[in-house]
Amino acid sequence: MKILHVNLASGYSGGENQTLQLIQEQQRLGYQLAVVANPKSPFADKIRQLDIPVYTCSHFLLKHSRQLTEGCQLIHVHEGKAIYWAAIQGWLYKVPYLVTRRIDNPIKNKKLLRWSYRQASAAVALSQVIADRIEQATHHPNIHIIPSSPVSYPVDPQQVAQLKARFADQFIVIQAGNLLAHKGFDVTVKAAQVLAQQAPAIQLVFLGDGPERAALEQQAHALKNVTFAGKQPREQMGNWFAAADLQVHPSYSEGLGSVILEGMQSGLTVIGSRAGGIVDIIQDRQNGLLIEPGNDQELATAILELYQNPPFRQQLAAQAQRSMQAFAIETTAQRYSDLYRKVALL
């Protein structure tokens, strides 16, 4: 099967990392692959390292040619303006395309955008809330839910020991991600204010950077139980997951929550919010805990419960790891393969 993946993002974030992992698995399975990518993105360089053809394109109106999709069964679009590129290429050369949507915000009321979605042979959502957004905006008849798969990171025991020594005799609770308003870091800071008196050994560590950092640091300026560790290299994340005792992710909105999957796969219990696709991952008190979005008191109570009850925390972590089979890259790739064949009528 020959597939052309398209991602025109200029940066590199979790979405690109997940796309890369899918492409790597498809390459392992023997697919013929090619990629259209933005020349400014590290994603293009990572694809080249796999010895897969890369066609660079900085705008959806550029680089259209019959050659790019010659022999392709379909085009797989990975969100953003890439859907416009696929719609044009598909219209010009009669190649079907499908689109994967990763974010849970409403699809903008733009005629071209909604038309491009409707022209897709299939739409894939990472979670139920995203599927609902697509259906509401486009009434697309062929929507599927295929979640992301967690990325595995290496673990260096020496660096793990160094992280634990840095927070000696403390219960390490991490929250990882870009410091954006919708990620709920402010909720965690408010929870830290509650926990500072009740359990001063609990240390909240933020792994990330972003536009909200200054405001968050101001909010937490008097707290000794909050640490801003900054943006971490991806290769360091495995060490943080291994060193931490607990992970929190109290977002106000979330397409799915790939960092939750990564933490759970690494053996952490995760406290998340009942927002977006998080509820597709965490079943409350079965493989993690759920709180209401924005409820800092509930978050503090949940952290304290798991701090004081190690057996329950370990029970949740074990069940979380078992539940990750449904999100394994092998499972995800097979579901895409089945969908590809239906779309391409193979």
The span from the CA of 313 to the CA of 322, in Å, is: 15
The span from the CA of 306 to the CA of 318, in Å, is: 14
pLDDT digits (tens, 9 = 90+) for 286-326: 999 999 999 999 999 999 999 999 999 999 999 999 999 99
In the chain, the domains with their CATH numbers are 2-149+328-344 (3.40.50.2000), 157-326 (3.40.50.2000)
Residue 230, token pair as written in the block: 């900054």
Q: How does 290-314 read in b/e, with b if 16+ C-beta sit within 10 Å?
A: bbebbbbebbbbbbbebbeeeeebe
- Cα 334 to Cα 74, 146, 313: the distances in Å are 16, 10, 32
What's residue 149's pLDDT?
A: 94
Identify the three-state secondary structure at position 174. strand
What's residue 13's pLDDT?
A: 83
Query: How far, in whole angstroms, is CA 320 from its chain's centroid?
Result: 17
Largest Cα separation within the chain, whole Å, is 66
The beta-strand segments (E) located in 116-264 are: 122-125, 143-145, 171-176, 202-207, 226-228, 246-249
**Sequence-separated (6 or more) residues with CB below 8 Å from residue 275:** 251, 252, 253, 254, 293
Name the helix (H) or strand (E) containing 61: none
Phi/psi-derived region of residue 148, left when phi > 0, alpha when psi is between -120 and 50, beta in every other case? beta
Identify the three-state secondary structure at position 161. helix
The span from the CA of 257 to the CA of 277, in Å, is: 7
CB 16 within 8 A of CB 41: yes
* Arithmetic mean of pLDDT, 149-153: 91
Tell me which residue has tokens 């790597």.
24
* Arithmetic mean of pLDDT, 239-247: 98
CB 327 within 8 A of CB 147: yes
What's residue 251's pLDDT?
A: 98
Nearest to 75 by CA among 97, 56, 94: 97
Nearest to 5 by CA among 50, 179, 327, 192: 50
**Sequence-separated (6 or more) residues with CB below 8 Å from residue 44:** 35, 37, 38, 54, 56
Mean of the per-residue pLDDT values of the chain: 96
| pLDDT value at 346 more than 70 | no
* Arithmetic mean of pLDDT, 260-286: 97
| pLDDT value at 345 more than 80 | no
Band (pLDDT 50/70/90 cuts) for residue 79 is confident
* Arithmetic mean of pLDDT, 23-28: 97
| pLDDT value at 35 more than 80 | yes
**pTM attached to this predicted model:** 0.92
Identify the bridge partners of residue 55 per DSSP, sorted by sequence position. 36
pLDDT digits (tens, 9 = 90+) for 80-100: 889 999 999 999 999 999 999
Percent of the chain with pLDDT over 90: 95
Residue 57, token pair as written in the block: 């394109």
Band (pLDDT 50/70/90 cuts) for residue 181 is very high
Nearest to 101 by CA among 151, 144, 150, 139: 144
Rg (CA), the chain: 21
The span from the CA of 113 to the CA of 109, in Å, is: 8
* Arithmetic mean of pLDDT, 57-63: 95
The span from the CA of 322 to the CA of 287, in Å, is: 9
* Arithmetic mean of pLDDT, 16-43: 95
What's residue 15's pLDDT?
A: 86
Nearest to 247 by CA among 172, 153, 146: 172
